[in-house]
Amino acid sequence: MKKQSSLLVLFLSLITLSTSAQTYNALRIPDTLSGTTFNLAMKDTFAQILPGNQTITGGINANFWGPTLFINKGDTVHMNVQNNLNDSTTLHWHGMHLPAVMDGGPHQVIPPGTLWQPYWKVTNDAATYWYHPHLHETTEEQITKGLGGLIIVRDSVESALPLPRTYSVDDIPLVLTDRDITTANQFSVVPYGDSMMVNGTLRPQYTIPAQVVRFRILNGAIERSYNLGFSDSRTFYVITSDGGLLSTPVALTRYLLHAGERIEILVNCSGQSGTNVFLKAYNSTLSQQTPGGDLFPNGPFANYLARIDFNILRLNISNQTSNPITAIPTALRTVTTIPAANANLTRFLTISDTNIVGIPGASFLLNHKLFNINYNNYAVPLNNTEIWQITNSGNFGHPFHIHDVEFNIISSNGAAPAAAQAGWKDVVFVPANTTVKFIAKFDDYADSLHPFMFHCHISLHEDEGMMGQFIVTGNNPTGVSEITNEESRFSLYPNPASEKLFVKLKEEYEGIYYLRLTNSIGRTILMLPRPQIENGIDISHLTPGIYFVQVTDEKTLKTTTQKFIKQ
């Protein structure tokens, strides 16, 4: 919907605003899952976003968005990701430190009808992370549909602090996005929407208790940044950056949150029962060079939220709960950042424009190149501590994201990071004509086959090729996995099998890097990165017939195949 229909909607909403205060919808709160095994089914579906036609959406165990996953630092978590979409996809665990083969980037494609089973030991600190599709050139479309979810990591440091942590009561997830909705109530795949949404809810309101409330805020938008603040300009306290708690709560009245970033904030509503306040985006102050501040008279970038202040969420403050948190803590934890002197390498990256203004068809370049999935930008030696220095010579700012690591910002335009950014981050905004430096340590996971990604987190830019990749090199073999004709290094039993299939490795074999199960016409059914095969592979859900198991050897990265019959 551009121009005329949008004008109509704007007009109608102005009327409703002036005639009624009852036009708010109850904020949806995503369901939760916890434990160590998570079943996530991605599907094409419908949601009642507006009265009338349902909206074609994507959901994960839901009809828009997915469950919030609670995981504990130190646990090993197992994900059963079932792709029931009509298209291939991937599922990326944004911010998680894990093996590249489990990362869910563009190389870990899940074909339709396939179950993908990554697992990893959680080493991230307590904070809010998220998961979302990452299939190259399809990310914007699949995120627009609503595919994604939050991850809340808990650890003993955070758990010992007097912080609100009752989900949906005093600890509230807010996934910020905006959408363009057609007159037939469908989402358009465009970078900027005309309608603000929180957790998939238009014009949301929510009731919170009159005490200290924690909001976990994700900028899940395709492109827009949100300059967050409250309608009474009250102070709020930022307690996390993307990847963990800050050392102390940082008192602010505005925070500019870019695509992909998360903050957790505390707001003290003690004694305010019976009042209300709006969380707003104060985007009227943004420049043409900041996502959401850029004005376009028409075309796909034109939108009604550009460079204005708008409401995000109405908060109705009500009675206190029992045992409320009523004070903002003065200290959170000790944050030990990586000293710049620890770096053994600096990498110099560039961001540049191919056109002066972001006219449709324009691309932004990383290192003067468009992404090529077969080109590896960097080989990072395992355990390197590196400074990444990113110089944006272009006329637009970009939120830069890297996989695998959390980093510390060293400087932006020569200045040390603001207090609320002085912890662990995985996205950093690189403003126009600015240089940003961060430092990170690349430990634990080397893999010569599966790279990690770095990219602009504006999904439109990422899909257009503003992305690169690196492998972390260790002492594992290099080279590509080949399917060979040599004698298989494994055998399968029982064969035929009905419930469980066991893999027996020949002696010299060190382990399985990858196991893929395909049916008789070559369709992938099951993908097991680095499978733990001691307990066998559950094949009870397969229809009877002939199947093939492809096993890639951990040591040589060679792939051999065996057939089995499912009874």
**Minimum distance, C-beta of residue 223 to Cu ion, in the bound complex (Å):** 8
Rounded to whole angstroms, how far apart are CA atoms 486 and 484?
5
Q: Rank residues 92 and 203 by Cβ distance to ligand C2O and give the closer one.
A: 92
Report the site for Cu ion in 402-461 (rule: CB under 5 A).
403, 456, 458, 461
Question: Among Cu ion, ligand C2O, none, what does residue 209 contact (CB within 5–8 Å per kind)?
Answer: none
**Minimum distance, C-beta of residue 469 to Cu ion, in the bound complex (Å):** 12
Task: Return the H-helix or E-strand segment holding 156.
Answer: helix 156-159
Contact 78, 117 (CB under 8 A): yes
For residue 134, state whether it binds ligand C2O (rule: CB under 6 A): yes
**Residue among 198, 146, 144 at smallest CA distance from 173:** 198
Binding mask 81-120 for ligand C2O (x = CB under 6 A): -----------x-x--------------------------
Binding mask 246-285 for ligand C2O (x = CB under 6 A): --------------x-------------------------
**Minimum distance, C-beta of residue 401 to ligand C2O, in the bound complex (Å):** 5
Q: Rank residues 326 and 363 by Cβ distance to Cu ion and give the closer one.
A: 363
DSSP string, 295-338: --SSSTT--TTTTSEEEEEEEEEEPPPSS---S--S------PP
Question: Among Cu ion, ligand C2O, none, what does residue 458 contact (CB within 5–8 Å per kind)?
Answer: Cu ion
The owner of tokens 């960097």 is 378
Binding segment for Cu ion (CB under 5 A), chosen from 147-155, 300-308, 394-402, 521-529, is: 394-402
Query: Which residues fall within 8 angstroms of residue 301, CB to CB, at 6 or more apart?
Result: 190, 191, 192, 294, 358, 360
Rounded to whole angstroms, how far apart are CA atoms 179 and 181?
6
Question: Among Cu ion, ligand C2O, none, what does residue 333 contact (CB within 5–8 Å per kind)?
Answer: none
Tokens of 437: 């430096």
Number of Cβ within a 10 Å radius of residue 443: 15
Binding mask 79-108 for Cu ion (x = CB under 5 A): ---------------x--------------
Query: Which residues fall within 8 angstroms of residue 256, CB to CB, at 6 or more apart?
Result: 225, 226, 227, 228, 286, 290, 429
**Minimum distance, C-beta of residue 33 to ligand C2O, in the bound complex (Å):** 20
Residue 356, CA distances (Å) to 289, 302, 399 in order: 11, 17, 18
User: According to CB under 6 A, which one of 401, 425, 450, 566 is a site residue for ligand C2O?
Assistant: 401
Residue 553, CA distances (Å) to 133, 476, 503, 535, 537 in order: 28, 11, 13, 19, 17
Question: Among Cu ion, ligand C2O, none, what does residue 529 contact (CB within 5–8 Å per kind)?
Answer: none
Cis, bond preceding 399 (omega within 30 deg of 0): no
DSSP string, 14-35: HHHHHH-S---EEPP---EEES
Number of Cβ within a 10 Å radius of residue 225: 24
How many residues at the interface with ligand C2O, by CB under 6 A? 10
Binding mask 336-355 for ligand C2O (x = CB under 6 A): --------------------
**Minimum distance, C-beta of residue 456 to ligand C2O, in the bound complex (Å):** 10
Q: Rank residues 135 and 210 by Cβ distance to ligand C2O and give the closer one.
A: 135
How many residues are listed for the chain in this entry?
A: 567
Question: Among Cu ion, ligand C2O, none, what does residue 516 contact (CB within 5–8 Å per kind)?
Answer: none
Q: Rank residues 260 and 417 by Cβ distance to ligand C2O and give the closer one.
A: 260
Q: Looking at beta carbons, which residue is closest to ligand C2O? A: 94
Question: Among ligand C2O, Cu ion, none, what does residue 456 contact (CB within 5–8 Å per kind)?
Answer: Cu ion
User: According to CB under 5 A, which one of 97, 136, 314, 398 is a site residue for Cu ion?
Assistant: 398
**Minimum distance, C-beta of residue 134 to ligand C2O, in the bound complex (Å):** 5
Cis, bond preceding 496 (omega within 30 deg of 0): yes
Q: Rank residues 333 and 398 by Cβ distance to ligand C2O and give the closer one.
A: 398
Binding segment for Cu ion (CB under 5 A), chosen from 277-285, 342-350, 396-404, 516-524, is: 396-404
**Minimum distance, C-beta of residue 449 to Cu ion, in the bound complex (Å):** 19
Rounded to whole angstroms, how far apart are CA atoms 468 and 352?
14
Q: Rank residues 153 and 549 by Cβ distance to ligand C2O and give the closer one.
A: 153
**Minimum distance, C-beta of residue 343 to ligand C2O, in the bound complex (Å):** 23
Question: Among ligand C2O, Cu ion, none, what does residue 425 contact (CB within 5–8 Å per kind)?
Answer: none
**Minimum distance, C-beta of residue 131 to ligand C2O, in the bound complex (Å):** 8
Q: Rank residues 170 and 294 by Cβ distance to Cu ion and give the closer one.
A: 294
Q: What dihedral angle (degrees, nearest 10) is formed by the CA atoms of 213, 214, 220, 225?
A: 80
**Residue among 149, 189, 157, 120 at smallest CA distance from 30:** 149
Question: Among Cu ion, ligand C2O, none, what does residue 260 contact (CB within 5–8 Å per kind)?
Answer: ligand C2O
Q: In one letter, which amino acid is 185? A: N
**Residue among 168, 174, 160, 198 at smallest CA distance from 321:** 168
Rounded to whole angstroms, how far apart are CA atoms 223 and 286?
14
Question: Among Cu ion, ligand C2O, none, what does residue 280 contact (CB within 5–8 Å per kind)?
Answer: none
Tokens of 490: 């494994």
Rounded to whole angstroms, how far apart are CA atoms 158 and 239?
11
Binding mask 285-304 for ligand C2O (x = CB under 6 A): --------------------
Report the site for ligand C2O in 403-462 (rule: CB under 6 A).
403, 453, 455, 457
Give me the residues that bind ligand C2O (CB under 6 A), please: 92, 94, 132, 134, 260, 401, 403, 453, 455, 457
Binding site for Cu ion (CB under 5 A): 94, 398, 403, 456, 458, 461
